[in-house]
A and B are shown apart, each in its own frame.
Chain A
Amino acid sequence: MSQADEILNVLSLRASFPTYQGKVKAVNNINFSINKGEIVALVGESGSGKSVTALSIMGLNAPTIKYEKNSLISYKGQDLLTMKKKKLKKIRGNEISMIFQDPLSSLNPLQPIGRQIAEPIQLHQGKSFFSAKERVVQLLRMVGIPAPEKRLQDYPHQLSGGMRQRVMIAMALACNPTLLIADEPTTALDVTIQAQILNVLRELQKDTGISILLITHDLGVVAEMADRVLVMYSGEIVEEGDVFTIFKSPRHPYTQGLLNSVPKLKGAGEDRLKAIPGVVPNPLNLPEGCNFYSRCSYSSEKCSAAAPPITDSAQNQRFACWHPLEKKVNQFV
């Protein structure tokens, strides 16, 4: 990928929360970039720092959060972390927008959805509600809401969960953003609805060429949607690569562990699900070496002594491990 295609670049992002027990390192030196028209999945367990990363891009973390000095989130060459509020306000909802996990609590219960979708258009394009209406109807049709003209006056509680998430997507796309951050967009929905929403997102991506940062803990969603995968573990990106490589030939034991803990239909009932033993390390007291050391079956003394460096391998795959798994060849079917 050439530099010109890169729209977002996160460089050595470190973020921590001060607590009474000490500093909680939520995100610890992560680097990644998102290219134009790409769907990047950020995968990890709860508490791995996925959401903090996403909210850092939006500038929506709790005000108590502290970013380390050399942290940089560069959007089209401008640092979002140090940007003035007035300037950031013009990017939020206009060029970068976000959808959230729970569409019911993320929509204002006292405002008709038409008003809520029109709001970013009114704000960023200086239009009146009346002149934004046409675009709102178009957006609702785009996300697959039937008879959108009749829905403008509906309140969130009158819609189903899937419809609400469609409304959220319509709202996020209102100003034709270049980057959409989707923070677990399907987690709160039924499985059948999940598939529909993912379809909507994928179709919209094809039609508009938008880049998507998809945050999820669901590897099924990743396989279905993503071009590239970032695997996060206790505040660090432990492995990165394109989706086929990661699924076929993971190099980091944690990625392997995540893949193993997905139930498979083939041979159901024969094997027990392989869970990763142990728990995520306490973010107040991270180990010296590799964070995954205590849970890893490949660990050696080296792992507890020093954190592994990031190794680049072919096929745009990167990983941080002293004992990477064997690279599988000829696995593509």
Chain B
Amino acid sequence: MFFRFLLRRIFYVIPMLLITTLIVFSLILLIPGDPALALLGDNATAEKLAALRAQLGLDQPIIMQYWHWLTNAIQGDLGRSLFTGEYVSDAVFTRLGVTFQVVAMAMIFSFAFGLLFAITSVIKPNSWMDYIARFFGVLGTAIPNFWLAMILVVLFSVHLGWLPATGFTSISDHPVDFMKSVLLPSFCLGSFGAAQITRQLRSSLIEVLESDYIRTAYSKGLLLWQVIWKHGLRNALLPVVTTAGLLFGNMLGATVVIESVFAIPGMGQLAVHSILQRDFPMLQGVVLIMVLMILIINFITDVIYGVLDPRIEFE
């Protein structure tokens, strides 16, 4: 059953990828500017420009260019950067590792704070803890992350000097430095997520705690925290799983800003550089991988749903 479900989901991914890549391919051509001009500079002659365009395949019709890119991509060849000449797949996968570490930390951060705030808030409704949780729920949603990033850098890096303002160390190289370098960016990325999870989980916990089986749980002699832990949380997490899936996509998008502020060599930064340099093959590769990531996350979300809720069957 699960295997058929998996197969069908993979089958659905194919048209999604085709459509998104085609859209991105067309949109890139709308960006003003010419990679040949960017490569050769303003003083290049018309012949030289034309020769380079022909060499890069830019003189062909869009659909031909797309077809060319697609047939290569299926074989695993995403082309080479127009500027550095490195393989797009190599560059993208190195940076994907970086971005993945940052986003994973932001996710952990979101859930840790979301669970903490939502549960303390529900234990005593309308208490000061509840008000604090709700306040942060609104604050986290309202504060723009780039602004938060700059304020935190000024406070923790410039004034206090506790954390580095820029750069990134991979967890495999140096775990302590990794934590230092990732703390501020993941906090900025995750503050919105933490707020969303707090709000969602708080309301769904309140709803679940009203239900009949919670009354049954009390009638067995369980105390409030046992009721929440054993019967409330898992039921209340169901709608949060959907939110978390959406958040992941949201965070991938936000890395474009956050990685630029903290100078983290990740996917977001690569996307920005590629756009500025009109490095089309690189940009196309970045977008392809991001779309793929989001489709995978959607799939994982559905699987988690099925694992959490036995009433859902994989069909």
Which residues of chain A have a CB within 8 Å of any CB of chain B?
58, 60, 85, 89-94, 97-98, 100, 102, 105-111, 119-120, 123-124, 155, 157, 168, 171
7 smallest A-B Cβ distances: which pairs?
Answer: A93-B220, A93-B221, A105-B212, A92-B221, A106-B212, A108-B213, A120-B220
Please give the distance in Å from B306's CB to the nearest CB on chain A: 12
- Which of B215, B223, B226, B235 is close to A109, meaning CB atoms less than 8 Å apart? B235
User: Are B221 and A106 in touch, CB under 8 angstroms?
Assistant: no
Known contacts A89-B223, A123-B221, A109 near B216 by CB under 8 Å: no
Size range of the chain B interface in the assembly: 20 to 34
What's the Cα separation between A89 and B223 when bound, in Å? 7
User: Which of A60, A107, A109, A110 neighbours the largest number of chain B CB atoms within 10 Å of its CB?
Assistant: A110
Decide if B159 is an interface residue (CB 8 Å cutoff). no
**Chain B residues with Cβ under 8 A from A97's Cβ?**
219-220
**Chain B residues with Cβ under 8 A from A98's Cβ?**
219
B165-207, CB < 8 A from A: none
**Chain A residues with Cβ under 8 A from B220's Cβ?**
92-93, 97, 119-120, 123, 171
Decide if B13 is an interface residue (CB 8 Å cutoff). no
User: Are B219 and A85 in touch, CB under 8 angstroms?
Assistant: no
What's the Cα separation between A38 and B58 when bound, in Å? 92
What's the Cα separation between A85 and B226 when bound, in Å? 14
**Chain A residues with Cβ under 8 A from B309's Cβ?**
109-110
User: Are B311 and A155 in touch, CB under 8 angstroms?
Assistant: yes
User: Are A100 and B221 in touch, CB under 8 angstroms?
Assistant: no
Decide if B273 is an interface residue (CB 8 Å cutoff). no
User: Are A60 and B218 in touch, CB under 8 angstroms?
Assistant: yes
User: Are A124 and B221 in touch, CB under 8 angstroms?
Assistant: yes
User: Are B216 and A157 in touch, CB under 8 angstroms?
Assistant: no
User: Are A108 and B231 in touch, CB under 8 angstroms?
Assistant: yes
**Chain A residues with Cβ under 8 A from B235's Cβ?**
108-110
Please give the distance in Å from A38's CB to the nearest CB on chain B: 21
Q: List 11 A-B contacts (CB under 8 A).
A: A89-B221, A93-B220, A100-B212, A105-B212, A107-B216, A108-B213, A109-B310, A119-B217, A119-B222, A123-B221, A168-B216
- Which of B213, B219, B230, B231 is close to A58, meaning CB atoms less than 8 Å apart? B219
User: Are A92 and B218 in touch, CB under 8 angstroms?
Assistant: yes
**Chain A residues with Cβ under 8 A from B230's Cβ?**
119
Known contacts A155-B310, A155-B311, A157-B311, A107 near B213 by CB under 8 Å: yes
What's the Cα separation between A85 and B223 when bound, in Å? 8
Decide if B48 is an interface residue (CB 8 Å cutoff). no
With A102-B212, A110-B234, A155-B310 given, can you name 9 additional A-B contacts, CB distance below 8 Å?
A: A94-B221, A100-B212, A106-B213, A106-B215, A108-B231, A109-B311, A110-B308, A119-B220, A123-B221
- For B237, the closest partner residue in chain A by CB is A110
**Chain B residues with Cβ under 8 A from A85's Cβ?**
223
What's the Cα separation between A100 and B211 when bound, in Å? 12
Please give the distance in Å from A265's CB to the nearest CB on chain B: 35
What's the Cα separation between A249 and B311 when bound, in Å? 51
**Chain A residues with Cβ under 8 A from B217's Cβ?**
108, 119
**Chain B residues with Cβ under 8 A from A108's Cβ?**
213, 216-217, 231, 235
- Which of B211, B234, B311 is close to A105, meaning CB atoms less than 8 Å apart? B211
Please give the distance in Å from B312's CB to the nearest CB on chain A: 11
**When each residue 298-314 of chain B gets 1 if its CB lies under 8 Å from chain A and 0 otherwise, what string results?**
00000000001111000
B230-253, CB < 8 A from A: 230-231, 234-235
**Chain A residues with Cβ under 8 A from B212's Cβ?**
100, 102, 105-106
- For A102, the closest partner residue in chain B by CB is B212
User: Are A60 and B215 in touch, CB under 8 angstroms?
Assistant: yes
User: Are B215 and A100 in touch, CB under 8 angstroms?
Assistant: yes
**Chain A residues with Cβ under 8 A from B219's Cβ?**
58, 60, 92-93, 97-98
**Chain A residues with Cβ under 8 A from B213's Cβ?**
105-109
**Chain B residues with Cβ under 8 A from A60's Cβ?**
215, 218-219
Please give the distance in Å from A62's CB to the nearest CB on chain B: 10
What's the Cα separation between A206 and B219 when bound, in Å? 24
What's the Cα separation between A176 and B230 when bound, in Å? 23
What's the Cα separation between A120 and B226 when bound, in Å? 12
What's the Cα separation between A229 and B310 when bound, in Å? 42
- For B210, the closest partner residue in chain A by CB is A62
**Chain A residues with Cβ under 8 A from B221's Cβ?**
89-94, 120, 123-124
- For A108, the closest partner residue in chain B by CB is B213
What's the Cα separation between A85 and B221 when bound, in Å? 10
What's the Cα separation between A108 and B215 when bound, in Å? 10
B52-70, CB < 8 A from A: none
What's the Cα separation between A112 and B308 when bound, in Å? 12
What's the Cα separation between A90 and B221 when bound, in Å? 6
What's the Cα separation between A155 and B311 when bound, in Å? 8
